Amino acid sequence: MLYRCAVIFAAHPDDEIIMAGTMAKMAAEGTRVVVVQMTDGGEGYPDVEMKDRIVELRRREAEACNRALGIAHRHMLDRPDMALVNDKATLQDVMAIIRKERPDAAFVQGGRTLHRDHFNTYQISIEALWHAGGPVCAVLGPPWATPEIYFYKDANTDLEPFGVNVKGFGHKFFEALATQESQFTLFGQLFGLKSREGFARQIELLKRDSGRDVEYFWIARDVLHFDTLPEPLAHRLPDWSPISA
């Protein structure tokens, strides 16, 4: 088991899926996998007919994704999509979750993005991880300094990437995407998959011939609670191995 608890911060109901194999593997090994979802995904409708029901659709899809990946709990802050702001209430809501869950590792979105919700998720989660470890806001629970912090997307290019071996779980990426039916128009543009049948074929193909055995992460060196990074990964966590830049 890599961790007792791992928390993943996501702007929208599907952002965390890029590390689906890692989440599924951690869950299978006994880690409590928790997602903190910042917004309700309410602007993610490709058809105007979906507008009035998109939030409920995406909530159901998020629950299906939880089941597919073994996510133990998804904290939904339900901030309006495209309107996430780094205000005091949101910051303290996230701090309270961190202090409640007390994760061994946090996985955050990086700041190299044009999407305001993604960028604000980066800022809020990093600041909340920092504040949660300090002697402040006692009403939110005892302080908790998360020992390890990683970016799972949109990281600065000068950070060294690491690969996680997800052999046997690589198909979980497409299995999780297949739960997000409201987003099939977008996924069709990205992956050429627009139907349940198309996803099912891709999932079976990867189960037979794993072609997605590695997922990439970056150590958030500049935002850890320590002056220097602890000896990373290789001697303690054999599933992690450095990838040449």
Among 48-62, 108-122, 221-235, the minimum mean pLDDT is found in 221-235
Q: Which residue has the higher pLDDT, 98 or 1?
A: 98
Q: Which residue has the higher pLDDT, 79 or 195?
A: 79
How many whole angstroms separate alpha carbon 49 and alpha carbon 151?
36
- Three-state secondary-structure class, residue 71: coil
CA 118 to chain centre: 11
**Mean pLDDT for the stretch of residues 125-154:** 96
How many whole angstroms separate alpha carbon 37 and alpha carbon 40?
8
Average pLDDT, the chain: 87
CATH number at residue 133: 3.40.50.10320
- Three-state secondary-structure class, residue 137: coil
Rg (CA), the chain: 18
pLDDT at res. 210:
64
pLDDT at res. 202:
82
8-65 residue pLDDT tens: 999 999 999 999 999 999 999 999 999 999 999 999 999 999 999 999 999 999 999 9
Q: Tell me the residue type at 128.
A: A
160-192 residue pLDDT tens: 888 999 999 999 999 999 999 999 888 878 788
Q: How many domains, the chain?
A: 1
How many whole angstroms separate alpha carbon 167 and alpha carbon 164?
9
pLDDT at res. 80:
98
How many whole angstroms separate alpha carbon 48 and alpha carbon 150?
37
Q: Cβ contacts of residue 96 below 8 Å, gap of 6+? A: 140, 141
Q: Which range of residues forms the domain containing residue 77?
A: 5-242
